[in-house]
Structure 1
């Protein structure tokens, strides 16, 4: 597995562990949705600056990635804070807490 594939795969796995959609991940990282989608689809090689922003976003959410551990792979470590965040996300079909308090 190439380093680029490991990086993209690990970022996708971290996004899934957090329960983030591509739009949420892009917004949290401050990158364009198009850049993220193209990177995850393997249509474009990620820029170092984009990878750094994505990694920073997942690390601040409680995810750690160890590249090339085990050799040729990667390890995604999910902290309790990240699990709590993933559990707080709205379930499809439910309104988010922010929308519940909104006056109609």
Structure 2
């Protein structure tokens, strides 16, 4: 069974998002810039506060996949993430939503006036390091 949020079967869960950022060594700021999603939205999603809209999930997922992350669906052991080898094609490429176009990203770009309305900045929690 796959993860679902708002009925979207290609959704990701907060733990996958945190793990994907950790694999890339990205901060919430870097993910926000790459996905054109406000940092506050990224932080709230990682904390499990609310359910992001499908387009928000698609933008975040698209940015992470473009950077080399593959999302692994629930397969009995739980959903997960991994980094693809250079030049590798994701196993589920056909079911992965396409990354948003440049025009879509521009429409969703955070402007200073939007930032002022988004409320207090959410502090980023440090990720725990896992030793191999």
Identify the TM-score tier after normalising by the shorter chain: 0.5 to 0.7
Aligned counterpart, 1:91: none
Structure 2: gaps of 5 or more residues: 6-11, 87-132
Equivalent of residue 39 in structure 1, options 45, 68, 76: 45
- Aligned position for 1:48: 54
1:46, CA displacement in angstroms? 1.6
SS at match of 1:80: coil
Q: Which has the higher helix share?
A: 1
| Change in 2 beyond 3 A, CA 1:26/1:72 | same
* TM-score normalised over the length of structure 1: 0.66
Q: What RMSD in Å do the two structures reach over aligned CA positions? A: 2.2
TM-score with structure 2 setting the length:
0.53
Task: List gaps (5 residues or longer) in structure 1.
Answer: 82-104
Q: Within 5 A, what are the aligned runs for 1:1-104?
A: 3=3, 4=5, 7-68=13-74, 70-71=75-76, 73-81=78-86
C-alpha contact 2:14 2:47 (8 A) present in aligned 1: no
